[in-house]
Structure 1
């Protein structure tokens, strides 16, 4: 995980954060979560027993215990310094290992801007766009724009740095279904190409390729619901300007240190949460529902660095998570990779997959999927691309998950327009370990991995360790090099069926 400097920008202010020297836990503050009264901690998973617990101590007193690799401290006081001690407790004789210490100071109490005070009304026909935007524009650094209980209909809203948008429990920020409420058109990226589209319901930042960030220290939270225009808006956008004109539900561009948390997010016209050319993004404690929406992805990290997605539930009409970095020559020459994506403690109920690609031409590396549970996703945990993409996917680890399928595709039959990148792509260095696949459907391969046919670009260096497949489970391997299976058994202790073609160095 990314180690923070002694001073970092988070949640509306410059706040002092100091920690002990780097340690194996990599204890850190989740980007965007340090507020007046709470903070969320993240750390790397530790091993060494079946009953590991993490003991969280605040100012010398026990705050709680967790088996996860994240923990939220709440009911803190504003503008107050806290010292957190973090201890690992193993199952062997209840040993307590050496503690790690993190110090931080909460934000000062900011001003609250209730949208009702700016003319907003909870009414199914009243468009609140201008009134909510007035509250956002008036919000001073460290302040909160507050959406109270009720349903508030709105078009596109544009957030800024150093603020919180708080959608309270019982509140619904409802997107309108009129395309005119999402003008002017803005430049973003869809399916690999930079282009102009309708604005999203919630927008932050403006697109550029120079590596700068124009929105920082933003939080979208509150316990309520953000609900888009859904199918009606989707169809209206398609009719007016075509399928690629649709906005998102939440769009971040060139943004840094952002937390989207503790919300139900549903009914997008297209992708739900999309962040592009951004850094230090936390998406956590979210319920994302997009059933019946064309291209209804849940979360799309796109040419972005340091993403932390945890404690989320997905029920989607397309990919639950799709990690991207542009397509074909444009994505290759823009050359902005997606790196360091941590997906932990998530529940994937329905959707197409936990996906990397298919737009991965700028490169994707450093992906961890850990302690997750996936239902009957169409493609399961999948890595996908085509020979035209260029770029790479490398250094991916999937650990301690319950899955129904693992797939690697080197050819997909969609989103394949445009000329090819100047080089062939590379898939390499994947680790799948401690995975329960016992509930998979055996009518098709449980593990289906396919590299590129070019001898120089075959899938390579893949390790499967400690996997359980259903009885009669099948493993298919095409166009791969150096693929190793260790302790891979069916539920009855037998080896699965292996089907190998055009591959070398396969060990099972």
Structure 2
């Protein structure tokens, strides 16, 4: 009997050695991405991933492709068919891991495609096609597609529904009118933390309700074309009839679930570009987002769960991404947090920041920013709020990124009107690791500016900074904090930064 167990132990030891490379973790189909012919896989890196160079995607037992990223689009699938997928890691020596835990899924049935030109729409760049396009949307059956073909199709506000795809073909442009009348009537919305009436957006889905529930499910907005808004001229027309905060967005999702926005050029919003509120399971990937308007944020998850943002580029007039959850007493009382936001493989070219806040009174937790590159963003990777906000930001991980600045702000000179929440926010449990800050400009201030709140119960707490490459002569400023650890933080030449700690305890460097 002992020999039997010894042989089994040796066999298991041999199998373990054969697959010394670790498999990826938490493989899943990204929310909203499953259709009749495609699905998008996402996964987490192995625990030990320093030597991993690529991943192999296994579809029904056969290799379907490879990628260096943590995501992969499966195209060319058959409708109404069961698939099983797994992913294997490959290290620098060409060794493969065992397959990950598999994920199984069933593709949807293929619905009809309705070309908007068959409903009277004209892609001449001049005709306002709102009624014709909306007619196609209303007629679209379950799992059907409304197609914007090649051409420039002008439109006002459009309202999407469950179980449909809005597809913008290559060479096709859905272009927003610059007349504010085309975005009436006003809808219930949220902006800068307040619930209020605003103009509708170019693309709308759902009805806002902070008590919960989802009004639109299984929606796809995708293609190789462009969605373009009315930009600053439309913003001016809207502001002339209601002020700064009544402007619509370019894409606005209200109480939606399982939504995919994929593949498009998205540009020229009159305000925030993509905004979703009280929603769950929104996947935004392979997008090129460009904005120049005032308050031209790129993407704003707001009191929403399970956001997956990857393979996107941002060049914006404000924050590239701003994770939000309401403002001051209203946001604190509604109490709907934003949770589980995964931002990976994105390129932040221009803008104010990769941001959490400033409206975060309902709470923000479990955010991952990984394998991203940021250019000259005004505030870099930033977490921000004011003492009036209330709520919390906790469990944030930023890893394997190239950044130019890290900031945690607790005093802002904008968007701080209205009464205060009953207590200051809590900022805690932030992890920064494997960050390249080497190209940061030391002439423009500290490369890390880290602040908590003066209240002893609301200091910045329990943060770690590990394997950070700084420029020479770097400064790190710490204020109102406790239990911050800095490990292997230095320049390529080995020079350590200068630390300036004020009203802070248990800061180790």
Using structure 2 for the length normalisation, give the TM-score. Answer: 0.94
Counterpart Cα distance in 1 of 2:335 and 2:74:
38
Shift of 1:50: 2.3
TM-score by length of 1: 0.94
Q: Which residue of 2 aligns with 1:475?
A: 476
- When residues 67 and 151 of structure 1 are mapped into structure 2, their CA distance, relative to the original with a 3 A threshold, is same
Question: Matched residue of 1:233: which SS?
Answer: helix
Map of 2:137 onto structure 1: 136
Q: Give the alignment's Cα RMSD to 1 decimal.
A: 1.1
1:182-234 residue CA offsets vs partner (Å, 9 max, x unmatched): 00000100000000000000000001112100000000001100000001001
**Residue 104 (structure 1) shift:** 1.6
Aligned counterpart, 1:466 = 467
Structure 2 counterpart SS, 1:181: helix
Residues matched between the structures, number: 485
Query: Is the 8 Å Cα contact of residues 313 and 346 (structure 1) preserved in structure 2?
Result: yes
8 Å CA contact 1:266, 1:290 repeated in 2: yes
* 1:149 lines up with 2:147 in the alignment: no
Match for residue 489 of structure 2? 488
State the alpha-carbon separation in 1 of the partners of residues 60 and 280 from structure 2: 31
CA contact (8 A) 1:89 1:97 kept: no
Cα distance in 2 for partners of 1:286, 1:204 equals: 19
> Mind listing any 5+ residue stretches in structure 1 that lack a counterpart?
1-22
* 1:158 corresponding residue in structure 2: 159
- Which structure 1 residue ranges, 4+ long, deviate > 6 Å from structure 2? none
The equivalent residue for 1:319 is 319
Partner residue of 2:107?
Answer: 106
Q: Which residue of 2 aligns with 1:346?
A: 346
User: Does the 8 A contact of 1:213 with 1:256 survive in 2?
Assistant: yes
> Does the CA contact (< 8 Å) of 1:279 and 1:306 recur in 2?
yes
Aligned 8 A contact 1:152 1:173 in 2: yes
Q: In structure 2, what is the Cα distance between the partners aligned to 1:288 and 1:372?
A: 15
For residue 388 of structure 1, what is the aligned residue in structure 2?
A: 388
What SS does the corresponding residue of 1:232 show, helix, strand or coil? helix
Question: Which whole-Å CA distance do the structure 2 matches of 1:382 and 1:376 have between them?
Answer: 13
- Alpha-carbon distance between aligned partners in 2 of 1:51 and 1:309, rounded to the nearest angstrom: 22
User: For residue 415 of structure 1, what is the aligned residue in structure 2?
Assistant: 415
Instruction: Give how far 1:98 is off.
Output: 3.9
The equivalences for 1:27-426 within 5 A come to 27-46=27-46, 47-92=48-93, 94-291=95-292, 293-426=293-426
The CA deviation at 1:67 is 1.6
Match of 1:431 in 2: 431
Shift of 1:60: 2.1
Structure 1 residue 405: deviation in Å?
0.1
The C-alpha deviation readout for 1:218-252, integer Å capped at 9, x for no partner, is 00001100000001001111111111110000000
> Is the contact between residue 314 and residue 347 of structure 1 (CA under 8 Å) also seen in structure 2?
yes
- Counterpart-to-counterpart distance in 1, 2:52 and 2:335: 43
CA contact under 8 A between 1:112 and 1:144: conserved in structure 2? yes
Q: CA deviation at 1:124?
A: 2.3
Which shifted more, 434-443 or 98-107? 98-107
Q: C-alpha distance in 1, partners of 2:385/2:334?
A: 18
Most deviating of 270-279 and 423-432? 423-432
- SS of equivalent to 2:133: helix
* Native 8 Å contact 2:52 2:89 kept in 1: no
Which aligned pairs between 1:492-503 and structure 2 lie closer than 5 A? 492-503=493-504
Contact 1:87 1:100 in 2 (8 A): no
Q: Separation in 2 of the partners of 1:505 and 1:412?
A: 26
Greater gyration radius: 2
State whether residues 464 and 484 of structure 2, in contact with CA within 8 Å, keep that contact through their aligned partners in structure 1: yes
Q: Secondary structure at the match of 2:31?
A: coil
Q: Does structure 2 retain, via aligned residues, the 8 Å contact 1:27–1:44? A: yes
Q: Secondary structure at the match of 1:336?
A: coil
SS in 1 for 2:450: strand
**TM-fit CA distance, 1:24:** 6.7
